Amino acid sequence: MSVFRRLYRGETRINFIGSRKRWYFASLVLIAICLFSFIFRGFNYGVEFAGGTQFQVPVTGTSISTNDVDHAFGKAGTKPADVPQEVGSGSTRQIIVKTETLTSNEQKALTANVQQQLGLKQDISVTSVSSSWGHDITVKAVQGLIVFLIVVSIYISLRFQWRMAVGGILALLHDLIVTAGVYSIIGFEVTPSTIVGLLTILGFSLYDTVVVYDKVRENAKNILAGSRMTFGEAANLAVNQTLMRSINTSLIALLPVAGLLFVGVGVLGVGTIEDLALILFVGLATGAYSSLFLATPIVVDLTEREPEYKALTKRVVAKRSADARRAAEAELVGAEPVARKRAASGPAPAPRPGARPQRRRK
């Protein structure tokens, strides 16, 4: 319980800054894995980005499976572009089938054929999307991301310092790459909801980082005027002081998203929300990680390269060495009178043979 008590009070002494090379290495490994996935695996683009025709086959109250639907489309002369996906449950149970772009007449003929094969009473819904629509959405998302990063950089530079802006932006880019990499590895479809979720996690990651930065600034105020602690020690203290707040914030954000992902998608089978749920879950987790293990250590590395902070580190080390030397000398000086007194009194007399030890009187 003492560990949780110290954690709650912000009194932990975890060496986040001293172990920053380990965090850098772990992050580089994650980024390398994600980049390899981008190159060799790519993304599973939805119909909104790849273009094509999407069929929503209502199978409520039937025993029709995805294999049955796939076989029906193939027998009708149009092979699905991807494996049919079952979404929803109960009265909302549907099977989604995606094909290449079809004309209006081809769509009508295909739906009539499939509906007859499967014996469906309800009509099959059809949606056609051009790949240019997804391209336009992607361009607008990238433009919005660039504007967001510029505005955030300016704000952090004015509110704190430019080094903190660099650390915050690098942490954000780390979150984007890792989140997109997990999405690529798992193979979930990239939809407009994915882009919305990707932009949403940036705000959470930035919020957590700014909270830590504010405590760093408070601990490092007028630090150059003294020789009590280095900038790295002040930053490490700030991370420990805000650790419980970061954990609470992350848990509060992750729990409902985890319910959305594991219960909504895994148990209830609501496949239409899996793209948004996954990207939010991974993005929130990486945002909490980067704010503690990347953003602040990067600021420390950039700051302690400055001449004034190098001089501060030397003063702190020299002062601590002098204090340790004085403490050792004081201990030696205090021990000398005791040693002289013991030497002057001589050795203690040896007990006589056969003498009984004296008992103390009560």
Closest CA to 132 of 143, 121, 140: 140
Q: What would the mean pLDDT of 105-132 be, rounded to a whole number? A: 84
pLDDT at position 105: 87
Between residues 111 and 11, which one has the greater pLDDT? 111
Residue 286 structure tokens: 């990486």
Concatenating the DSSP letter of every residue in 162-179 gives HHHHHHHHHHHHHHHHHH
Residues 154/266, Cβ–Cβ less than 8 Å: no
Closest CA to 180 of 330, 39, 7, 326: 39
Per DSSP, the three-state class of 118 is helix
Q: Which amino acid is at 190?
A: V
pLDDT at position 30: 93
pLDDT at position 106: 86
Percent of the chain having pLDDT more than 90?
10
pLDDT in tens, 78-100: 888 777 877 766 667 788 888 88
How far apart CA 235 and CA 160 sit, in angstroms, is 14
pLDDT at 326 over 70: yes
Between residues 147 and 9, which one has the greater pLDDT? 147
Between residues 54 and 298, which one has the greater pLDDT? 298
Q: What would the mean pLDDT of 259-281 be, rounded to a whole number? A: 65
Q: Which structural domains are found in the chain, ordered by start? A: 12-43+132-305 (1.20.1640.10), 52-129 (3.30.70.3220)
Percent of the chain having pLDDT more than 70?
82
Strand runs labelled E in the chain: 44-45, 52-58, 85-87, 94-99, 125-129, 189-190
pLDDT in tens, 137-189: 778 877 887 888 888 889 888 888 899 999 999 998 999 899 889 888 888 77
The pLDDT-based confidence of 348 (bands split at 50, 70, 90) is low
Mean per-residue pLDDT of the chain:
80
pLDDT at position 27: 93
Q: What would the mean pLDDT of 57-84 be, rounded to a whole number? A: 84
How far apart CA 209 and CA 155 sit, in angstroms, is 13
How far apart CA 46 and CA 134 sit, in angstroms, is 9
Concatenating the DSSP letter of every residue in 185-250 gives HHT-EE-HHHHHHHHHHHHHHHHHHHHHHHHHHHHTTTGGG--S--HHHHHHHHHHHTHHHHHHHH
Residue 295 exposed, middle or buried by CB count within 10 Å (0-12, 13-18, 19+) = buried
Residue 73 exposed, middle or buried by CB count within 10 Å (0-12, 13-18, 19+) = buried
Residues 301/20, Cβ–Cβ less than 8 Å: yes
Q: Which of 34-38, 108-112, 263-267, 297-301 is least confident? A: 263-267
Residue 290 structure tokens: 């980067």
Interacting residues of 114 by C-beta distance below 8 A, sequence separation 6+: 55, 57, 69, 72, 73, 76, 120, 124
How far apart CA 210 and CA 160 sit, in angstroms, is 9
Between residues 242 and 89, which one has the greater pLDDT? 242
Residues 137/179, Cβ–Cβ less than 8 Å: no
pLDDT at position 253: 77
Residues 273/189, Cβ–Cβ less than 8 Å: no
Residues 81/98, Cβ–Cβ less than 8 Å: yes
Among 42-56, 152-166, 348-362, the range of highest mean pLDDT: 152-166
The pLDDT-based confidence of 48 (bands split at 50, 70, 90) is confident
Q: Which amino acid is at 161?
A: Q
pLDDT at position 362: 47
Q: How many CB atoms lie within 10 A of CB 55?
A: 24
pLDDT at 112 over 70: yes
How far apart CA 132 and CA 138 sit, in angstroms, is 10
The pLDDT-based confidence of 8 (bands split at 50, 70, 90) is low
Per DSSP, the three-state class of 346 is coil
Q: What would the mean pLDDT of 131-141 be, rounded to a whole number? A: 74
Residue 56 structure tokens: 């929503």
